[in-house]
Amino acid sequence: MRKFFGIIVTIIVCAVFYIACNTTKNELVVSYKNFDGEIEQQQNLVFAFNKDIYPDSLLQSWDSTDYVEFTPAVKGMFKWNSSSELMFSPSQGFQPGTEYTATLTSFILNRSVKKYSFDKESFHFHTAPL
């Protein structure tokens, strides 16, 4: 009975280790963001990724590509601060007392040399009421 139990435990440990190693190896995820819950109306939003996905030669330039889709819509520009960090700066600011959803788009990977799997993540936040 002990031998059987030992085999089962070994199989479970190996399976967990295998899944843990393979799920993040080739997957692009947001590893950090500078907001959670409530944001300021004029706040820049920063998204940091677990992989380098943008060429160094194009960093620090403002870009109108919709890397993130906002609902309700927010006009603004994007800038890659590093090969793994994207910043959004709203041109008119966020509306007061409004619930927002930010969804990453597939444009995130347009300039990446390596191909990563990518699930469109969504983030919810709001601005303070008037």
Strand ranges for 34-97 from DSSP E: 37-39, 45-49, 62-63, 68-71, 76-82, 85-90
Burial of 89 (0-12, 13-18, 19+ CB in 10 A): middle
pLDDT of residue 9: 60
**23-32: pLDDT as tens digits:** 557 999 999 9
The answer, yes or no, to whether residue 123 has pLDDT greater than 80, is yes
Query: In order of start, what are the domains of the chain with their CATH numbers?
Result: 2-127 (2.60.40.3710)
pLDDT of residue 128: 94
* pTM over 0.85, yes/no: no
**55-90: pLDDT as tens digits:** 999 999 999 999 999 999 999 999 999 999 999 999
The answer, yes or no, to whether residue 4 has pLDDT greater than 80, is no
pLDDT of residue 10: 66
